[in-house]
Amino acid sequence: MLQISKSLRLSFSCFILIFQLLLMPAVPALADEGMWLPMLIEQKIPHMQELGFRLTAEDIYSVNRACLKDAIVHFGGGCTGEIISAEGLLITNHHCGYGQIQAHSTVEHDYLKDGFWARTRQEELTNKTLTVTFLRKMEDVTHQVLEGATAAMSEVERQGLIEANIKTISEQNLQGLDRKFYSVRIAPAYYGNQYFLYLNETFRDVRLVGAPPSSIGKFGGDTDNWMWPRHTGDFSLFRIYAGQDNQPADYSPHNVPYRARYHLTISAKGVKPGDFTMVYGYPGRTRQYILSPEVDYLVNRSNPHKIRLRTLRLDVMNREQAKDAAVRIKYASKNAGVSNSWKKWQGESRGILNAGTIGKKQEFERRFQQWAEASGRQDYITLIPRMKELYRELEPYLFASEMYAEAVMAVELLRFANNLENTFVRSGPANATEAARAFFKDYYQPIDQEIFELLFTHFYRIMEPLAHLLPGNTTDDQSPDAAGDFAQLPASDFTQLPAGDFTQLAANLYKNSVLTDPEKTMELLAKDSALALSLIREDPAFRLVDPFVRKNRTCIQPRITEINLELNLLYRTWMQAIMEFDSECIFYPDANSTLRVTYGTVQGYSPADAVMYLPVSTIEGIMQKDDPLVFDYDIPQSLRDIYAVRDFGQWASNGTVPVCFIATNHTSGGNSGSPVLNADGHLLGLNFDRVWEGTMSDIEFDPSVCRNISVDIRYVLFIMEKIGKADYLLGELDICKD
């Protein structure tokens, strides 16, 4: 909540608040919901132009000329990035590049703490597995995919035909292309009622160019994550390299900066309430059309238990990271990964409850059922009852699967033991050795051992009603009870343990497993292949985790797959049916990590009674939060010094520096790093988050509270110039100030 503590500023601040509220649109956001396919954006252009958009559909997506899509990349497979110079300079979020920044960090060169700025091309840092992918073409291939399908086919036959057709279409589109760098993805939309082809080009030489200190790039940390107002400089810079022919290539010192087909112009004009905004990126997954039982399960069972398990992990990590700089670096990325979903789930549940989503869906289902009964169509009449029956059958298996993932496989040692055996079998000892080195680089046993004890204690308590889904608890399951009867395993170094004595189990496990010791693990992997594999499988960590893996693989996942197969088939019918039932509604396909366009306007919102948030934050808020005693709010001294003399330079606006802004764009995970564009397609900022009250937008978009959070590009440029001293990078950019 925004508060003014100094009375002498109260009347002026109230005036500003009232003035800005008057500038906001008098009506709530209209039709800002939706993640639209670029090739079909023509149908939305009239509404976009009503909101102020000044470009055409061809400017957004074209296969005939360079356009905005040619500046957008899928960054690392999980985020979005965009090209901002003619020399392949790419910008994305700090948290998207966090893994690469951490991988290059040491205690001596702590780029997480101090930031990193390459002063020359030679100083740019290579990243072994990092890729960026451009969409080169998309096409509606529904007719080709479904060719030959008949109503008389069983679902297995139909799916087999579809898969064969997809393979044929993919082969045809990849002819003459190097498959190391080009790929085809054919993805269903509307639960298989439509299919789209995506031809992608992937670049594999992507180098780290710059990143601010985490005290800027992650300012506010987990405390501010998913919250507004926000003051995070969430950006990092990379450069794409290509071969001498400007084509994708593996890393080589002879590669040159990629000359992209299109790069974004940067707008230094900034934003004001009501301004048009468009986000262009790769949202991960939404579930707008699911039935009420799935939402009820999420809010009342799944999320509460997942939140509790992650709280246990975070408490241990946070305490130990605060004690030691080396541990802080090792666990920085892990902590961020655990905490991101942990906080999101809390906001998601709260948003769903506040919006009354379950009740709304139940009412929609009731009205649909009445309509179906009146229609006389038997396939529509039985649809909801059968789907609800399947959800009842699915829930225990889905819950067990989630708890296995959030408890058993959340223990690093157990996950490592399982992965090491898999890697050794599938890829050989060399790759297994490489995987072991990567594991131990960021491993700290005291954290993992305590987490094991806490998670297993909680896991066995919450799984008690589902004991039949634990190892060793069914007649057809020959695996030992992995924890309760662990002493029965043929390991001479384990003593009899009382069931549920996880403190003693943890002590014995971490004392006797070779896989907790990097030197012993490397010695093991250096042995004859057959012997090394045998020793991995005999290790206590592997013998503890393997029964869970096998139980999950043979009992839990097959049942989930079986039920979901029928559910997905019924959802295909459900989409057809609700499009008939609610014919005036415009339906957009759920996000599936393919390129999408979403648009809206800059707007504040009211999260609670008598509270109104403005849509723009400034550097003043950073200084108000600054606290050297609180890790999340301890900014660099250099930023304090700049603020003290108000050396804002050309990035000042109304005597301050804008930092972040919010708008009504419909975004999701995967949109991190997406460009936020103005009415002319110029870069205003980088999307990096959603407000906590609106994190349920994957399931229901509420225009009154759903807002995406972006870092203002002017703050990015300010940090590059004043903190990074990266004027040479600013010289690469096309910056428009008019």
Based on the residue annotation, tell me whether 104 is a catalytic residue of this protein. Answer: no
| Opening angle at CA 36, ends 62 and 247, nearest 5 | 40
Q: Which residues contact 438 (CB under 8 A, 6 or more apart)?
A: none
* Both tokens assigned to 259: 């000359």
Residue 183 pairs with which residues in a beta bridge?
A: 200
3-state DSSP assignment of residue 627: coil
If one counts every other C-beta atom within 10 angstroms of the C-beta of residue 49, the result is 14
State whether residue 135 is helix, strand or coil. strand
**252 is a catalytic site residue:** no
| Antiparallel, parallel or unpaired: β 735-736 and 266-267 | parallel
Among all chains, which residue has been given the structure tokens 């992608």?
Answer: 200
Kindly state the tokens that stand for 70: 């040619």
The residue from 74, 95, 231, 666 that is catalytic is 95
Structure-block tokens of residue 11: 């009347």
Between the two ends of the chain, the Cα-to-Cα distance in Å is: 34
Cis preceding linkage at 385, omega within 30: no
From the list 479, 593, 668, 672, the catalytic residue is: 672
- Which of helix, strand or coil describes residue 405? helix
Does residue 75 contact residue 670 with C-beta atoms inside 8 Å? no
Which is catalytic among the residues 234, 275, 448, 539?
234
Give the whole-angstrom CA distance, residue 345 versus residue 343.
5
Question: 3-state DSSP call for residue 226?
Answer: coil
Q: Active site includes 476?
A: no
Q: Are 281 and 675 in contact (CB under 8 A)?
A: yes
Taking the C-alpha atoms of residue 376 and residue 374, their distance in angstroms, rounded to an integer, is 5
| Alpha carbons 735 and 738: distance in angstroms, whole number | 9
Give backbone dihedrals phi and psi of 734, rounded to 5 degrees, phi first: -95, 105
Judged on CB neighbours under 10 Å (0-12, 13-18, 19+), 152 is exposed
Q: Identify the helix (H) or strand (E) that includes residue 618.
A: strand 616-618
Residues with catalytic annotation?
95, 234, 672
